[in-house]
Structure 1
Amino acid sequence: MGDDSTVGIILAGGRGERAKPITLQSADYIRSKALIPFAGRPLIEWIVETCRDQGIRCFYVVAQGAENRSQIKLVLGHGERYGVEIDYSRARFDQYNVGSGAATLHNLEQWNLTGSALVMPVDSLFDFSLDELRATHETADAVVTVAAVSRTPEEIAGKYGVMRTTANGLVSGFLEKPQLARIHEEFPHTGPSHRPHTLPTNAGMYLIDCARLRPAARTPELIRLAQQRLDWGHDLLPWLVGHDQRVAVGPIARLGDLGSIGDYLGTLGEALNGLYPYVNRALGDPLSADPRYWIHETSLRTKDSATGTTLAQKIAEGSVVLGPGVRIGRHAEIGTDVHVQYTDIGDGVDVAEGARLDRTVVGDGAVIGPYARISDSYVGPMAQVQSDRRTPVRLEQHTAVGDGAYLWPGTRLSGVSVYPRLRVPALSKVPTGTQLTSSDDILQWI
């Protein structure tokens, strides 16, 4: 392209290791991170539609491998249903996509991009203004403008990288996940004796000047790095700053990471709580504003098999209690004495009597048995939680149950990942952080 319009480059080739088992359809078949379900639709749809509504009409998707590429293309096609154009990286160049920076630089050449491009990962949700990023980019005459989220030193310590900036908003250096003492040492104005301050952290989104970045990428040093491993944050940005390329910082309102189970649940909770304006608009007016929840009309009309009453009747009489931040999809069946808050319930889900769901995701077609207690957890599509009143299932602390898994009554898991299609007996002493990937893993805890 040779005009001044901004195109979108979506980096969608990662394997989603941190988010397993959400990114698994079976133990040996990876679901693209782009297709992680989020508030009723694949994540990549939110990204495309958010950018489209800010004027981006042409997208380039950097995919990786047959599974990843085919899954994304089945959802997005070439953009017809979204009113945009979508192209994909060529499969024969997958070998060059070694890191986010290398993938960007190689594909800029292949697509012959010369205007501005917004580069973004596929495992994050952003609340940003493209116009504001453009204004910052143009004022700074930048090669790259880094979308930045302001965070306190306490939020940053050990988790986020910090950018040092000059008085005119250009990046002068980086601190990679510093501890709190180092932050206070490098930025004395953030110390305990000063009023609260925030610092800019890299959100992983970049507005780039393709025509100026491409020549920089042709230097022998960057060519060599791009053949090994070249990430945006760790490698490319420090190289650009170290070689006097103008890198600016453009503040954005919010970043929601979805790369791990905890981050995914936290971001979804924020979205259902109204903190992402685009998600608000897309979900439409809530059925109730206080508490705030959305329920598809087909679920309101669905009768439960035990009492024959509809969800609408149960809400009216108070036998189903919905707190804030709840979304219920199509044709869900909800029993009596169910309490739900800050939870996303997919299409065709069965939630039996007495269940309690808090800060949880329940995927399409899943079954939640009677009196289950589930908090801060993920239950994948078609999973079955076979709880009962005498031996209820308890899931908590970022437990994740993969697609089609089966949990027996009495199962108690805290911070445990269950891979797809496993049958899990009534386990209760599995250490936090354990991944149950096969029947052999399960046997050692019986």
Structure 2
Amino acid sequence: MAGGGRETVGIILAGGRGERAKPITLESADYIRSKALIPFAGRRLIEWVVDACREQGIRRFYVVAQGLENRNQIKLLLGHGERYGVDIQYSRARFDRYNVGSGAATLHNLEYWDLRDQALVLPVDSIFEFSLAEMEATHRRNGALVTVAAVERTAAEVAGKYGAMQTGSNGLVNGFVEKPGLERISRLFPGAADPDLGALIPTNAGMYLVDSNGLRRAARDPELMRLAQQRLDWGGDLLPWLVGHGLMVAVHPIDRLGDLGSVEDYLLTLGEVLGGGYPQMDQLMEVPHNKEPRYWIDETSLNTRDERTGTTLAQKIEDGSVVIGPGVRIGRHVEIGSGVRMEYADIGDGVELREGARLSRTACGDSSVIGPYAEISDCYVGPMAEVESERRRPVRLESFTALGDGVHLWPGTELSRVSVYPRLRIPTVTGLPPGTSITSAEDLGRWL
């Protein structure tokens, strides 16, 4: 129980298609995996969400899924929560057509599940550092219908990128401003625009504590019912409607939000997590194998010998021929050659890192292969991808490049901020413009 005897249940909005995160969300060019199933630091995203909320007292979860594949993928992983010590229910497939936006999906399913308790509504493509008890206290103190988790940002951070919330001295939201420029910020948030004052602006983190009964009553308003049949998102539609109709929407600052909705955001958040920036996730992870520098290595990988020298990873770390910097997580049965250097890297199960490879701020999916002397920074390498590299023709990947599942690169390839869709074989290529997405062999042919 939470909130002084009232139970708080969790509502996980897991039906998004993950377009911005491609190719991470793709298993093939035409088969998308649920965002909930994206691998992240040794688990799937939705597992982190469930575990983190369970640790704060939530024991009942309701998952809003969308479509056959999305629903089946999540259910195959989570079941009904038995492995996680919680109870999980799923939205009905016949209601998928009514899930026209995150707000509409929430309202329809609150009614279907007959929820009357307090509910924490949260997305599946973000991680949060927050105190549920403190958020509940803010919610009660304001008598709010909805309390919005907020990340406070500077004017420079907000300008043109984030929606901002205007609040009164009572902590209630009285207006929303979508991605204001600096000039508008200076008018609406004068304290934030003044560098001497340095006031922060609350931005919507995408997590909401709601009074389920009250929100269900509001949803019966004919105008809101019509909106919920067309298009109703939480941030852009539902919250402004509630505030505009005089309903109590409060704001509660949280410590941190990690967005995972794009390749760049995914990698930046991964680096922050591995670097210790999310204490609550630290508590859910295993105790680090080494504390200074901090890294995690599964015992099976420490004892795995590389085929070239026949020495174990433990031996190579001890003699200095492999250097593991801070923020590294190495999964099971990973084979690592001599001369490898890495920092802030997430290495999946069964990965092979050949001699001389350099990795920083990078994720390598299960069973991927990184060839000799490859230089990889700020990149995502999908499961079963193979990066062929040679000492005289090393592969160089940088600046939020992403390789989909099973991609094959030839030696000498250099990519910067390029996305390659799954299962493509890329001959030696350099000079592709940053921002290029190679989605098919035809796409590649235009650059060769």
Report how far residue 181 of structure 1 moved: 2.1
Aligned-partner Cα distance in 1 for 2:433–2:361: 21
Aligned-partner Cα distance in 2 for 1:309–1:230: 58
Aligned-partner Cα distance in 1 for 2:312–2:159: 49
Q: 2:155 aligns with which of 128, 153, 156?
A: 153
Aligned-partner Cα distance in 1 for 2:322–2:88: 44
Alignment check: 8 A CA contact 2:38 2:45 kept: yes
Q: Which residue of 2 aligns with 1:70?
A: 72
Amino acid in structure 2 at the alignment position of 1:335:
G
Aligned-partner Cα distance in 2 for 1:192–1:176: 20
Q: Which residue of 2 aligns with 1:167?
A: 169
Aligned-partner Cα distance in 2 for 1:259–1:319: 37
Q: Deviations over 1:116-166 (max 9, x none)?
A: 100000000011111001100000000000001111111111111111001
SS of alignment partner, residue 46 of structure 2: helix
Q: Deviations over 1:271-296 (max 9, x none)?
A: 00111112211222212211111100
Aligned-partner Cα distance in 2 for 1:4–1:90: 26
After TM superposition, list the pairs within 5 Å mapping 1:7-26 onto structure 2: 7-26=9-28
Q: Which residue of 2 aligns with 1:284?
A: 286
SS of alignment partner, residue 342 of structure 1: strand
Matched, 1:388 2:394: no
Q: 2:240 aligns with which of 234, 238, 241?
A: 238
SS of alignment partner, residue 62 of structure 2: strand
Q: Which residue of 2 aligns with 1:90?
A: 92
Q: Which residue of 2 aligns with 1:332?
A: 334
Aligned-partner Cα distance in 1 for 2:288–2:144: 42
Alignment check: 8 A CA contact 1:379 1:402 kept: yes
TM-score by length of 2: 0.98
Amino acid in structure 2 at the alignment position of 1:387:
S
Report how far residue 4 of structure 1 moved: 2.8
After TM superposition, list the pairs within 5 Å mapping 1:214-363 onto structure 2: 214-363=216-365
RMSD over equivalenced CA pairs, Å: 0.9
Alignment check: 8 A CA contact 1:429 1:445 kept: no
Q: Which residue of 2 aligns with 1:200?
A: 202
Aligned-partner Cα distance in 2 for 1:184–1:317: 57
Q: Deviations over 1:61-82 (max 9, x none)?
A: 0000000000000100000011
Q: 1:437 aligns with which of 399, 420, 439?
A: 439
Report how far residue 193 of structure 1 moved: 4.9
> Unpaired runs of 5+ in structure 2?
none
Matched, 1:135 2:137: yes
Amino acid in structure 2 at the alignment position of 1:267:
T
Q: Deviations over 1:195-237 (max 9, x none)?
A: 3221111100000001111111111111111111100000000
SS of alignment partner, residue 183 of structure 1: helix
SS of alignment partner, residue 235 of structure 2: helix
Aligned-partner Cα distance in 2 for 1:6–1:21: 35
State which drifts further: 425-434 or 85-94. 425-434
Amino acid in structure 2 at the alignment position of 1:203:
A
Give the number of equivalent residue pairs: 444
Q: 1:178 aligns with which of 177, 180, 183?
A: 180
After TM superposition, list the pairs within 5 Å mapping 1:117-128 onto structure 2: 117-128=119-130
Aligned-partner Cα distance in 2 for 1:82–1:432: 42
SS of alignment partner, residue 134 of structure 2: helix
Q: 1:412 aligns with which of 395, 411, 414?
A: 414
SS of alignment partner, residue 163 of structure 1: strand
> Unpaired runs of 5+ in structure 1?
none
Matched, 1:51 2:42: no
Aligned-partner Cα distance in 2 for 1:352–1:152: 43
Amino acid in structure 1 at the alignment position of 2:379:
S
Q: 1:60 aligns with which of 56, 59, 62?
A: 62
TM-score by length of 1: 0.98
Aligned-partner Cα distance in 2 for 1:335–1:180: 50
Report how far residue 262 of structure 1 moved: 0.4
Aligned-partner Cα distance in 2 for 1:118–1:142: 13
Aligned-partner Cα distance in 2 for 1:45–1:292: 23
Aligned-partner Cα distance in 2 for 1:129–1:302: 40
Report how far residue 194 of structure 1 moved: 2.2
Q: Deviations over 1:338-357 (max 9, x none)?
A: 11001100000000001000
Report how far residue 183 of structure 1 moved: 1.1
Q: Which residue of 2 aligns with 1:400?
A: 402
Q: Which residue of 1 aligns with 2:191?
A: 189
Shift >3 Å, 4+ stretches: none
Report how far residue 191 of structure 1 moved: 2.7
